[in-house]
Homo-oligomer: A and B are copies of this chain.
Amino acid sequence: MSQVKVPVVRNILEANERLAKANRTIFDQAGIFAVNLMSSPGAGKTSLLEKTIDGLGDRYRIAVIEGDIQSSYDAERIQRKGVQAVQINTDGACHLDGGMVLEAIEALDLDGLDLLVIENVGNLVCPAEFNLGEHHKVMILSVAEGDDKPLKYPLMFQTSSVLLVNKIDLLPYVDCDLEKIRQRAGQLNPRQQIFEVSCRGGAGLDAWYAWLETEIARVRVNRG
């Protein structure tokens, strides 16, 4: 079985890489900073997006691509915030790929856009393997998931430039040691920036906004 499977997976990854590069060219030429946002189900991706629109939406034009197996529940949440949102339904697939994102881009008005966040399917495994053309991968870990996650899902930590440790307001009620997360994630990816946040209360989000503003400015200089 594995002799059948492995070469096919490799072809899919190569085809994906070509589509991701096409997406990246579109983002760079338009001067749009693109983020691939990943986490387990329910770690807080859509809540982070809602807060980010609240925090930066008056100074930057933001759009969101929502990835879900089915439903348009998250895209509707985002549209209620008054920003462009496109829903991708993967129809069973556990991750987004470059081709799905290319189709979604074509449904967006890119003119004057500063920031595009692509919210991946809730899954700590496969999304880490598929580049979408983003400038940075960003991951969220909820403290309710525990401090052992870097040991068990290392690729996600290795490939993400930023780790948002979310729901820190739950720390008094769960068995989770922030220092262990920092140490274990740091061993996998010493350059990863870690922000401790609570999307519910808003704690720690200023550092995340500042990181986004720096990166938006960096990409925007390309705009013609």
Chain A positions near chain B (C-beta within 8 angstroms): 1, 4-5, 8, 11-12, 15-16, 40-43, 68-71, 73-74, 92, 94, 97, 99, 121-126, 129, 142, 144-146, 148-149, 151-155, 167, 169-170, 173-175, 200
Contact = CB atoms under 8 A, between A and B. Distances in A.
User: Which of A4, A94, A125, A155 has the most CB atoms of chain B within a 10 A radius of its CB?
Assistant: A125
Contacts of A74: 152
B40 A122 contact: yes
A44 to B, nearest CB: 9
A140 to B, nearest CB: 12
14 contacts: A1-B97, A40-B41, A40-B42, A41-B152, A42-B142, A42-B144, A69-B153, A92-B129, A94-B126, A122-B124, A122-B153, A123-B125, A167-B174, A170-B174
Contacts of A153: 41, 69, 122
Contacts of A12: 1, 4-5
Contacts of A154: 69-70
B144 A123 contact: no
A49 to B, nearest CB: 14
Q: 9 tightest CB-CB pairs across the interface, nearest first?
A: A42-B145, A144-B144, A94-B125, A40-B41, A42-B146, A40-B40, A41-B124, A71-B151, A8-B8
